[in-house]
Amino acid sequence: MSSETNYKKRRREPFNVDVKQVEIYEDLANEKDEVRLKAAHELVSRFTPESKPTEDQIRKALQRLFRGLCSGRKAARVGFSIALTEVLAQVFGSKQSAESSEISVSEAVKIFSSVTDPSGGEPGQERKDYYLGRLFGAEAIIKSSILFQSGVPLEEWNTVVGIIIDIGNAKPWLREESGWVLYRALHELATQKADVKYCEKMIEIISSNGFVKSPEGVAMWLLIQDSFPNAKLPQDVWKYNNDPLDRHDRRTLAKIMKQVSEAEDQSAALGVWNSRLNFAWDAVLSRLADSKPEGKKEKKDKKGGKESSRITFEEFWTEVVDDGLFAAASSDERKYWGFLLFMKIVDEGTLHRAEVIFTKNVVRCLMNQLAVEDRYLHRMAVKAAKTIQKRVSKEPSFASVAVKGLLSGSLQFDQITKTKTVEKIVLEADAESLQKVIERLERLIATPGLDEAKAAASSRQYLADLFVSIVRTRSPAGEEFTPVLQYILSILVRYAYFGDEQGEQIANPAISSATQELFRNRINSCLNSLISNIKDPAEVAFAIVRQIRDYQKSEEYGKFIIEIDGTIAESVDAAFKSLKKLSSKVKQDDKGTKDASVQAFRLVYSLTILQVYNGDADAVSMLDELAFCYSKFWGDKKSKKEDRSDASNALVEILLSFASKPSKLFRRMSEQVFGVFADQITADGLQSLISVIKVKENLAGQQEMFDQQDDDEDEDEDMEDADSLDSDVEVVDADEEGSDDDSDDEDDEEEEEEEDEEELAAFDAKLAEALGTHHPNDDNSSSDADMNDDEMEAVDEMLVKVFKARQQATTKKKDKQDAKETMTNFKNRVLDFLEIYVKKCHTSVLALDLILPLLRLTRKSTVKQISQRANDVLREYTRLCKGNAIPSLSTDTADDDEEEDTIEPVWDLLRAVHKEAMISGPAAHSSSASQASIFLVKKGADVE
């Protein structure tokens, strides 16, 4: 009967359940923030003093909330902890509420302790949930501040603190969270100016449980020292001054802080490794001095009794991080934490702190991890490098610190890591920081810290290339960087042109001649960038040669490496005198623009002197020609027009000489100067350009252009050229009938292959003859016989001759290929000149002389790119000659006979164009001929 009665009671229970309250508890675990907050608000409203909750309601609510914290369902811990904190605050928060409540704080703590006891849970996830719920419950009790009210026994505080410490000791993966709850509690106590007994009791508990010798314990100790200076702390915890940061006890501190990584290593094995930095690092770092007190005098602490000698940040970093986390034997997990600390200081630290973190092991590990993509910490290393670059982009003055730190590991940091980290940092630096960087790099050029000459040369090459990158990037940046760029050039000048047996005093190891030549090439590269990006490139070029001359006279940096005899010295001195006079002629117009012709001539004059200093024998004769040009353009006011024309022609020859060199600098300079003097070019000067595009793109053409006839090979070369001359490069006179025997590039390649086969067959025949054997297809046979010594020597001599002939044939073939490349490059430069000329002087009657040569080049060139360029220049000319931009061939005062004489050359040119059009050629040739014909017809009609 009793069992039936109990059964009926259980059936009646659902009708007494508060459905709304059930829904509230359900919503507290909802994953949506707004739902959780609404549920918490509704629950808390039931426990306000006005609602007068009963003891049973409070007890059941606390039990339900504490149980909810131990649930792993959805977002239960978050929602239940918020509700629990507020309910506790409502029930016990005020004195009135505490007195009216029928349940005490002590009883609430007992409920918490019993409900969240993990010993009752099953091993595994359920017990883990209980530990987490217990920690969340302790945090909620502390946040509600009910333990700090008057009348609440101190034992309740001790109980909660003890529970938190037990959780941290029992579960290493919860140690940091446990310490964080207590650390935040101390902050709240300090904010509320609570009684010091709470923090004293906490320190006593964590000391007795061994928790104080942990990173979290150190953080709590330091916080109490700062926030509660009158607190009585245990005196037997730390050996020196009762301070965990004392310099004399830094090894103990290092051991404690490294336990963070050890605990994380243990957790990593359980699969719950934490990739965040422990909060204790912030607590320690914020209390470290950047440097020792001045005079190394130790300051007295706030109590005035003992002298403090706290470890500095630099000492801490070396002991704990560099020799600890980044030690060679450290695990990847420790190094991961080390990278996090490194990035934290780079991102947030002062310049002083950021400067000292580039220690030996840190930089070594950074380099090693960056160098190989499949290493465990490669991504962290990449992130660290990007953090440095990010700091530099926000704070350009940080660049000098970063470069100094990274290069302390190796001068070849970028090469080893296969990145451009250092280069990117340098290019982000501001002018002031860049100056410091350059000074640092200059010292590294002089003393790279390497004993092996080859390694030192490699490092110096990298630094020189870095200088070029800086100049290339910063030359367009404005006048702010001009002094820095000039300083870079002065460094290169010192090490490129000077040095002797006493050179060890300037550089160690001594700079090799190959490195000096490399520096000279890098000077040219720098000038190439400056010429196109700064307003006054002539001044920079003149400053360089003037600096070389000054150093040469003073011998401040050793002896000049180029031997300059009396004649050359006289030419150079005369050139400097002319340059000095030209500098005095530089004037500015109303817009602040200097005389372009003077500046252009100063530029070519200065670069010619630089070529003399580089040991170019041809440059000396060019100086004499420039002296002639100077005297006709500016020196002699009574110079006749013919003399100025001669000077103009001479200048064209000089510019052609520069253009023939495979140098970007000379190409850019010659184009700039040619553009300035284009309107002064005479018919003879223009013919000098035309003569270049007329020559063949082969060895014979190169010899014809550069006078490189070889007496030993004259006859052979003429015969080979006659045999291999392609019909599509044949010079066809305009008066002759057109020929359609042009061949394609494929025929060219086939002929070369046949030539190779013939050479190979001839070589086989000679080799067989030397060895006394027969071709396999030869039916004649002879019996093998042993050869005596004399016969063997004869065979050896024959073999030497055969292989020598083969080598000569190979060399000759290479010479042909090189000649073709040289002539192609030279023609490209001349076409650059002609393009400039037609843009600036298309209204000149002289420009008509370009039509036929360009049209022929379009057809004849064996290089497709040259043919296309010639076509482009001709099309550009005809496009520009429209409207009033047509060249004038006659004057209004001319009589009919004179006008007829003037127009006749146009008809002659038109007839030549028509004959050229009849010759078979590429499609572009026909199109260009058509355009030229239409243009000339229009011009002739306009004149008539």
Average pLDDT on 466-471 reads 94
Structure confidence at residue 366 (pLDDT): 96
What does the alpha-carbon distance between residue 698 and residue 703 come to, in Å, rounded to a whole number? 9
CB 233 within 8 A of CB 203: yes
pLDDT, tens digit (0-9, with 9 covering 90-100), for 624-645: 999 999 888 887 666 566 667 8
Q: Is 896 helix (H, G, I), strand (E, B) or coil?
A: helix
What pLDDT is recorded for position 236?
Answer: 83
Q: pLDDT digits over 503-534, tens only?
A: 445 788 889 999 999 999 999 999 999 988 88
Higher pLDDT, 305 or 818: 818
pTM: predicted TM-score of the whole model, two decimal places: 0.76
459 — pLDDT class (breaks 50, 70, 90) = very high
Burial (CB count within 10 angstroms: exposed 0-12, middle 13-18, buried 19+), residue 71 = middle
**Average pLDDT score over residue span 309-314:** 90
Measured between alpha carbons, how far is 318 from 251 in angstroms, rounded to an integer? 11
What confidence category does residue 756 fall into, taking pLDDT thresholds of 50, 70 and 90?
low
Which has the minimum average pLDDT: 109-113, 233-237, 600-604, 773-777? 773-777
Across 635-657, b (16+ Cβ under 10 Å) vs e yields eeeeeeeeebbbbbbbbbebbbb
Q: How far apart are CA 59 and CA 81, in angstroms?
A: 16
pLDDT value at position 722? 35
DSSP 47: T
Contacts of 561 (CB under 8 A, 6+ apart): 497, 498, 499, 513, 516
735: number of Cβ within 10 Å: 9
Give residue 409's pLDDT: 87
Give residue 192's pLDDT band: very low, low, confident or very high (50, 70, 90): confident
- Give the CA-trace dihedral at 446, 451, 454, 460, to 10 degrees: -20
Residue 766: band (very low, low, confident or very high) from pLDDT cuts 50, 70, 90: low
Q: What share of the chain is helix, strand, coil (3-state, %, to 5)?
A: 75, 0, 25
Cβ pair 339, 271 in contact under 8 A:
no
Instruction: Give residue-wise pLDDT tens across range 371-383.
Output: 999 999 999 999 9
- What is the chain's Cα-based Rg? 45
Q: What is the mean pLDDT of the chain?
A: 81
Do residues 833 and 659 touch, judged by C-beta distance below 8 A? yes
Query: How does pLDDT run across 705-751, given as a tens digit for each residue?
Result: 776 434 433 434 443 343 333 333 333 333 333 333 344 444 444 44
Is pLDDT of 537 > 80?
Answer: yes
Measured CA to CA in angstroms, residue 656 lies from 633, 706, 827 at distances of: 19, 11, 10
Tokens found for residue 39? 């549920």
Give the model's confidence band at 172: pLDDT under 50 very low, under 70 low, under 90 confident, else very high: confident
Helix axis angle for 596-613 and 664-677, nearest 10°, is: 150
Domain boundaries along the sequence of the chain: 17-152, 699-747+760-774+789-943
Lowest mean pLDDT among 55-69, 199-213, 765-779, 848-862: 765-779
**Predicted pLDDT of residue 810:** 67
Q: What is the pLDDT of residues 776-813, one digit of tens each?
A: 454 444 444 465 666 666 767 776 766 677 666 666 77
Q: Which tokens in the block code for residue 935?
A: 């243009």
The pLDDT assigned to 1 comes to: 42
Question: According to the model, what pLDDT value does residue 465 have?
Answer: 94
Does pLDDT of 558 surpass 70?
A: yes
> How many Å apart are CA 81 and CA 139, to the nearest integer?
8
What is the average per-residue pLDDT within 678-704?
86
Number of residues assigned to the chain:
944
Single-letter amino acid code for the residue at 393: S
- Residue 822's pLDDT band (boundaries 50, 70, 90)? confident
Report yes or no: 217 and 211 within 8 Å, Cβ to Cβ: yes
Calpha distance 942→934 (Å, rounded):
12
Q: How far is CA 594 from each of CA 434, 583, 836, rounded to the nearest angstrom? A: 30, 11, 21
| C-alpha dist (Å) from residue 668 to 607, 655, 674 | 12, 11, 10
Tokens of 274: 């934490």
**pLDDT in the model for residue 478:** 77
Which of 370-374, 553-557, 638-642, 866-870 has the least mean pLDDT?
638-642
Contact 932, 874 (CB under 8 A): yes
Contact 484, 491 (CB under 8 A): no
Q: Are 659 and 666 in contact (CB under 8 A)?
A: yes
* pLDDT tens per residue, range 426-439: 999 999 999 999 99
Give the pLDDT confidence score for residue 165 in this predicted structure. Answer: 94
Token representation of residue 510:
């001594």
Q: Work out the average pLDDT over 294-322.
A: 68
Residue 829 predicted with pLDDT over 60 = yes
How far is CA 872 from its chain centroid?
37
Q: 3-state class of 607 per DSSP?
A: helix
Backbone phi, then psi, for 61, in 5-degree steps?
A: -65, -45
Virtual torsion, Cα 865, 866, 870, 873, nearest 10 deg: 60
Asked whether the beta carbons of 583 and 542 are under 8 A apart, the reply is yes
What is the predicted pLDDT for the residue at 135? 94
% of the chain at pLDDT higher than 70: 77
Phi, psi of 854 (to 5 degrees): -65, -40
CA–CA dist 866, 872 (Å, integer): 10
Which of 208-212, 459-463, 799-803: highest mean pLDDT? 459-463
272: tokens are: 């719950």
Say yes or no to pLDDT of 265 above 70: no
pLDDT at 266 over 60: no
The answer to whether the bond into 509 is cis (omega within 30° of 0) is: yes
pLDDT value for 389? 96
- Phi–psi pair at 11, nearest 5 degrees: -70, -25
- The answer to whether the Cα torsion of 278, 362, 251, 310 is positive or negative is negative
Share of the chain above pLDDT 90, in %: 40
Helix (H, G, I), strand (E, B) or coil at 436: helix
Task: Give the pLDDT of residue 764.
Answer: 60
Phi first, then psi, for residue 226 (nearest 5°) are -80, -40
Q: What residue type is 120 in one-letter code?
A: G
Q: Is the model more confident about 500 or about 494?
A: 494
> What's the average model confidence in pLDDT over 36-57?
88
Average pLDDT over residues 75-93: 89
- DSSP letter for 744, please: -
d(CA 444, CA 423) in angstroms, rounded, equals 15
In the Cβ-directed half-sphere of 361, how many Cα atoms lie within 13 Å? 18
Bond from prior residue into 887 cis (ω within 30 degrees of 0)? no
